[in-house]
Chain A
Amino acid sequence: AQKVTQAQTEISVVEKEDVTLDCVYETRDTTYYLFWYKQPPSGELVFLIRRNSFDEQNEISGRYSWNFQKSTSSFNFTITASQVVDSAVYFCALSEPEKAAGNKLTFGGGTRVLVKP
């Protein structure tokens, strides 16, 4: 079974629109971490945000915000007022330290975001 599912393969928006990326995860661990990474055309994955399983408080960081709901195993990510530079592939990832005895990220399939001017 896929542990991290990103149902949206591609999203296209016009600049200044908000875009929300969905992520559903699967784990039996009580302690786990969720991440969002951005992969621009250059290929380098860039860390955006991290959340641990004990903290469901949703936050806003600049134009980024996230909605973590353990009840539905979802960790959605929103870019507010999108810009052309936000065009990239976004990956949701899961870390299960108890199972993997260390840092091992399991990635979803990614969602390509295209922001048109």
Chain B
Amino acid sequence: EAGVVQSPRYKIIEKKQPVAFWCNPISGHNTLYWYRQNLGQGPELLIRYENEEAVDDSQLPKDRFSAERLKGVDSTLKIQPAELGDSAVYLCASSYDSLGTGELFFGEGSRLTVL
């Protein structure tokens, strides 16, 4: 069974440029998450989807971040314009359990460097 797939693995951009990350969750997993992990810290939730609906986006900086999950499968996270502080690893995860009892399956992440 294929795991969570993310691309690109690495991205280097200059500040004020846009960037987008893509995630393909495990087949059959209705719940999808985007986490941000700063260097030396634990992941922090940005947004959680149940199928196509964003059910928790309270931590998403909506002035510059946007996300979508069309057709309830793949998802895209966009930053426009990027700032220096956005340098981090962006992790996508999926789960079959939306009740909070199950494990999350993570991708390898997209490492963003903003110069």
Chain A residues with CB under 8 Å of chain B are: 4, 33, 35, 37, 42-47, 50, 52, 91, 93, 95-97, 100-110
Contact = CB atoms under 8 A, between A and B. Distances in A.
Interface stretch (B62-70, B72-80, B90-98): B90-98
B89 A97 contact: no
A35 B101 CA distance: 10
B107 A35 contact: no
Contact of B97 (A100, A103, A107, A109): A103
Interface of B: 3, 31, 33, 40-45, 48, 50, 55-56, 89, 91, 93, 95, 97-109, 111
Nearest to A48: B103
Contacts of A101: 55
B89 A102 contact: no
Contacts of B101: 33, 50, 52, 95, 97, 103
Contacts of B97: 103
Contacts of A52: 101
A104 B48 CA distance: 8
Contacts of A37: 106
20 contacts: A4-B42, A37-B106, A43-B89, A43-B91, A43-B109, A44-B3, A45-B104, A47-B104, A50-B102, A91-B42, A95-B100, A100-B100, A102-B50, A103-B95, A103-B99, A103-B104, A104-B48, A109-B40, A109-B41, A110-B41
Contact of B42 (A42, A44, A110): A110
A14 to B, nearest CB: 24
B80 to A, nearest CB: 24
Contacts of B91: 43, 45
A100 B107 CA distance: 23
B98 A107 contact: no
Contacts of B50: 102
A33 B99 CA distance: 11
A82 B70 CA distance: 44
A44 B48 contact: no
Given A43-B108, A100-B56, A108 B42 contact: yes
